[in-house]
A and B are shown apart, each in its own frame.
Chain A
Amino acid sequence: MSPSTHVFPDAAGRRAPGAPSRLEPRSIAASIRHWFNVWWFVLPALVFYLAATLLPAIQGAAEGFTDWDGFSPEIRWVGFGNFVAMYNDPAVVAAIAHTLIIATSLTIVQNMFGLLLALGVNSQIKTARILSAIFFAPAIVTPIVVAFLWQYLYAPFGVLSSAVLSLGVESPDWLGDSDIALSSIIAVIIWQHSGYSMVIFLAGLQGIPPEVLEAAELDGAGPVRKLWSIQLPLLGPAVLVNVLLTIVHGLKLFDVVWVMTQGGPGTATQTLSTLIFQNAFAFNKVGYSNAIALVLTIIALPVAIIQFRAVGIKRSGL
């Protein structure tokens, strides 16, 4: 069998037609050599993963049950004390709410903008390629740079405020008003990442066979009908990818919020990530911080499971 036709088993372990069976006889020495080669290639990455990801994660999770301050050699076990404290901590409750608001807003609004941009760029306009590059450009800028840039744009007497004032209207305090600060931050993230969603949707749109759309046109379907009945259903995988990416992004968001407001004014833009950082490095409550991180992990776990199952479904061709 040539390499080009070799097919790996699917997630359910079913062998593709014509692929070699694992039950075909192989000498013990060859088998040992085979698995030695496999693990030899896997080992460096595995060691790195264990040292840099898995072991620190397990250690952090264990610290969530202590009152360690991150400094002292003494670590005291407090059991579920941190979790009880979190239940009674209004800052944690607010942070969970803000985190979910961000994740939900990004999932709906960012993907909606991304889809609209993709539909526009996928049309017959001559500047489609240039426009897609322009819309995607913010996504390649470092988030911290974007955050600093928009902090200045939002500042009193900044560009945005001056523009609003020139209309004869009093400019809002974009990042200082606790009622709109979170929305101001969400707007920045949507501005930066809509192009990213657009690219994924665009790939999905361009994967739709043109004859399907032509056939629909011949049957009298208009643009809206084509979008609703043909394009959107066939964009299922792209929608799934974008939804999962935006949910995960929203749940773990830290840099933009920290640079722009540090969770303020007060706690109006505090998220779980900023709260974790603040407790660990400003309050010296590393144990409590790790407990909050565990809660964030539990919130993100269903998303990870869905993503894992979605990848498995995709591989099986269902």
Chain B
Amino acid sequence: MTTKRNWLKVAGLAAALLAASSGNGWVADEKVTLTLLSSATAAPALKQAIAKFQSANPNISFEVSVAPDASMNVLLPQQLAAGNGSDIYVDWPGIYSTQAVGVLAKNGYALDLSDEPWAKSLTGTLKTLSGYNGKVYFAPLVALGFSTTYNQTALDKAGLKIPATWDEVLTFCKDARAQGLIPYALGAQTGSQTQMPAMTMGATVIDRDMFWTEQRTAGKSSFATSGWLTVFDKFEAMNKSGCFSQSLGTSEDVARSLLATGKALGFFGPSSAFKIIQGMTRDKLVFTTFPATNNPDETLLCVGIGSGLSIYSRTKHPEDAKKFLAFMMEPENTNEYATATSQVPALPNDKFSASDSATSVILKAMADKKTAPLTNQMWPNPRIVPAQRTATQQMLGGSATPLDVAKAMDQAWDQQ
């Protein structure tokens, strides 16, 4: 009996040791739910990525909430300031708006990601835009171009060609108006659209790298005394030449549908809009650079870092959140996300191939070193962009001059 009891004890101990040595010990992987706040534009692609992540990490589930893009700059900072921010949130690089990572990090709402392996590969402008005070707080997923999309089918019908020089732009507008067509659909009723022509032309005319922004930050230049005034002059010249039609009464949605239906021949906007507009029409669309001078060789494509991901500084699951960001920053997953959103990876890799006209133009411009960064992402406070939008609307309405636009932006810049 004693021998039998001893054998039972040994068997029991062996069974316990076996259980302890398998898997992760006594307790299975802890189930974690991460909350994620996404913009409407990023949500479909993010959900696809989440599904893939979850198949490899079944213990991590997600609660995704989606907000309209236009509401993110209100909803995101308010949630963070109120203490009920999502563990992970979609935001933008730089410090130019209330949903830009620099502003959020400055106020302590973003987690320091500097020690992440992918963060160490960020250099130069990309690193500057992804952080604050030398630290990284933002996972940059994609980059996008800001230029013009044309309806090639409508152009062919009208017998017109995409202009290659500045003078050809003005002639193009005149010829299109003569046929009762809108040369460029500009949804200036929507604030962000008012910036598009200026940012597109600014890449070529003024800010080939971040040099002007640095000069302005040091107080050695201003909007009113630099090539930015030339940009606003050209913007006004286009308006007076009839390049836009009732732009102030047109929203971005209406502008896109004007291009899709062929009533307009061109549209100023980000490359991410290309896929959206292509989904509205069977016409052939082309995304291309916009000539702001009469020398085609000078034309540069404005390329900016698009939305990415940051982690709430007060998250209860920092390691799991970091795991998801590391997953998203793997080239294969970034490529899939970029393809789904008609953008290119922010960190270039040779495995990405263009999926449409817009992304192939961006990749070619990057390869040919014919790009300039979207410099407003480094403007120092969130009042400059709204000042630009308001003053530009007044210029389009004829109640302000290009100099007024430049001065309004300088005044907003100097308000710290």
Residues on A close to B: CB < 8 A? 70-72, 151-152, 154-158, 173-178, 261-262, 264-268, 278, 281-285
**B225 adjacent to chain A (CB < 8 Å):** no
Which residues of chain A are near B246, meaning CB under 8 Å? 156, 173, 176
Flag if A176 contacts B249 (CB, 8 Å): yes
Flag if A266 contacts B397 (CB, 8 Å): yes
Q: Given the known A-B contacts A71-B81, A155-B249, are A265 and B382 also in contact in the complex, defined by CB atoms under 8 Å?
A: no
Which residue among A155, A177, A285 has the maximum number of chain B CB atoms within 10 Å of its CB? A155
**B201 adjacent to chain A (CB < 8 Å):** no
**B247 adjacent to chain A (CB < 8 Å):** yes
Flag if A282 contacts B250 (CB, 8 Å): no
Flag if B77 contacts A173 (CB, 8 Å): no
Flag if A177 contacts B103 (CB, 8 Å): no
A-B complex: 6 closest residue pairs judged by Cβ atoms: A176-B249, A176-B248, A266-B394, A173-B249, A265-B248, A71-B107
Which residues of chain A are near B189, meaning CB under 8 Å? 175-176, 261-262, 264-265
Which residues of chain A are near B160, meaning CB under 8 Å? none
Choice from B109, B251, B393 contacting A155 with Cβ under 8 Å? B251
Interface flags, B287-313, vs A, CB<8A=1, else 0: 000000000000000000000000000
- A70 to nearest B CB, angstroms? 6
Q: Which of B271-291 contact A (CB under 8 A)?
A: none
> A157 — nearest CB in chain B belongs to which residue?
B263
Which residues of chain B are near A155, meaning CB under 8 Å? 249-251, 254
Which residues of chain B are near A282, meaning CB under 8 Å? 73, 98, 382-383, 386
Which residues of chain B are near A70, meaning CB under 8 Å? 77-78, 81
Flag if A173 contacts B248 (CB, 8 Å): yes
Flag if B98 contacts A284 (CB, 8 Å): yes
Separation of A178 and B247 alpha carbons in the complex (Å): 12
Flag if A176 contacts B397 (CB, 8 Å): yes
- A5 to nearest B CB, angstroms? 52
Q: Given the known A-B contacts A156-B249, A176-B248, A177-B248, are A266 and B258 also in contact in the complex, defined by CB atoms under 8 Å?
A: no
**B10 adjacent to chain A (CB < 8 Å):** no
Task: Give how many B residues have a beta carbon under 8 Å from the other chain's beta carbons.
Answer: 34
- B397 to nearest A CB, angstroms? 5
**B179 adjacent to chain A (CB < 8 Å):** no
Flag if A266 contacts B250 (CB, 8 Å): no
**B102 adjacent to chain A (CB < 8 Å):** no
> B258 — nearest CB in chain A belongs to which residue?
A157
> B249 — nearest CB in chain A belongs to which residue?
A176
Which residues of chain A are near B383, meaning CB under 8 Å? 282-285
Question: A interface, by DSSP: helix, strand, loop or mixed?
Answer: loop
Interface flags, B346-381, vs A, CB<8A=1, else 0: 000000000000000000000000000000000001
Flag if B390 contacts A267 (CB, 8 Å): yes
Q: Given the known A-B contacts A173-B248, A282-B382, are A266 and B400 also in contact in the complex, defined by CB atoms under 8 Å?
A: yes
Q: Can you list 11 A-B contacts with CB-CB less than 8 angstroms, sorted by A residue number?
A: A71-B103, A155-B251, A156-B258, A176-B189, A176-B250, A265-B189, A265-B393, A266-B391, A266-B393, A266-B400, A281-B78
Interface flags, B10-28, vs A, CB<8A=1, else 0: 0000000000000000000
**B74 adjacent to chain A (CB < 8 Å):** yes
Which residues of chain A are near B77, meaning CB under 8 Å? 70-71, 281
Flag if A156 contacts B397 (CB, 8 Å): no
**B188 adjacent to chain A (CB < 8 Å):** yes
Q: Which of B215-250 contact A (CB under 8 A)?
A: 245-250
Separation of A155 and B256 alpha carbons in the complex (Å): 13
Which residue among B245, B247, B248, B250 has the maximum number of chain A CB atoms within 10 Å of its CB? B248
- A173 to nearest B CB, angstroms? 4
Q: Which of B10-68 contact A (CB under 8 A)?
A: none
Which residues of chain A are near B394, meaning CB under 8 Å? 178, 265-267
**B396 adjacent to chain A (CB < 8 Å):** yes
- B236 to nearest A CB, angstroms? 14
**B133 adjacent to chain A (CB < 8 Å):** no
Separation of A157 and B248 alpha carbons in the complex (Å): 14
Separation of A267 and B389 alpha carbons in the complex (Å): 11
Assuming A267-B394, A282-B382, what are 16 further A-B pairs, CB within 8 angstroms?
A155-B254, A157-B263, A173-B248, A175-B249, A176-B248, A176-B397, A178-B394, A262-B191, A264-B189, A264-B390, A266-B393, A267-B390, A278-B386, A281-B98, A282-B73, A285-B383
Which residues of chain B are near A71, meaning CB under 8 Å? 77, 81, 103, 107, 109
Flag if A264 contacts B248 (CB, 8 Å): yes
Separation of A267 and B247 alpha carbons in the complex (Å): 16
Separation of A175 and B248 alpha carbons in the complex (Å): 7
Which residues of chain B are near A266, meaning CB under 8 Å? 390-391, 393-394, 397, 399-400
Which residues of chain A are near B74, meaning CB under 8 Å? 281
Flag if A284 contacts B249 (CB, 8 Å): no
Separation of A218 and B254 alpha carbons in the complex (Å): 60
Which residues of chain B are near A175, meaning CB under 8 Å? 189, 248-249
Which residues of chain A are near B73, meaning CB under 8 Å? 281-282
Which residues of chain B are near A151, meaning CB under 8 Å? 251
- A164 to nearest B CB, angstroms? 12
Flag if B188 contacts A176 (CB, 8 Å): yes
Flag if B249 contacts A177 (CB, 8 Å): yes
Which residues of chain A are near B98, meaning CB under 8 Å? 281-282, 284
- A235 to nearest B CB, angstroms? 39
Separation of A261 and B250 alpha carbons in the complex (Å): 10
Which residues of chain A are near B263, meaning CB under 8 Å? 157
Separation of A187 and B251 alpha carbons in the complex (Å): 19
Separation of A178 and B396 alpha carbons in the complex (Å): 10
- A293 to nearest B CB, angstroms? 16
- B203 to nearest A CB, angstroms? 25
> A175 — nearest CB in chain B belongs to which residue?
B249
> B381 — nearest CB in chain A belongs to which residue?
A284
Which residues of chain B are near A178, meaning CB under 8 Å? 248, 394, 397, 399
- B301 to nearest A CB, angstroms? 28
Separation of A267 and B399 alpha carbons in the complex (Å): 11
Flag if B248 contacts A72 (CB, 8 Å): no
- B37 to nearest A CB, angstroms? 16
- B372 to nearest A CB, angstroms? 26
> A184 — nearest CB in chain B belongs to which residue?
B249
Choice from B81, B381, B382, B393 contacting A264 with Cβ under 8 Å? B393
- A154 to nearest B CB, angstroms? 7
> B389 — nearest CB in chain A belongs to which residue?
A264
Which residues of chain B are near A173, meaning CB under 8 Å? 246, 248-249
Q: Which of B376-416 contact A (CB under 8 A)?
A: 381-383, 386, 390-391, 393-394, 396-397, 399-400
Separation of A75 and B246 alpha carbons in the complex (Å): 44
Flag if B249 contacts A174 (CB, 8 Å): yes
Which residue among B73, B263, B381, B390 has the maximum number of chain A CB atoms within 10 Å of its CB? B390
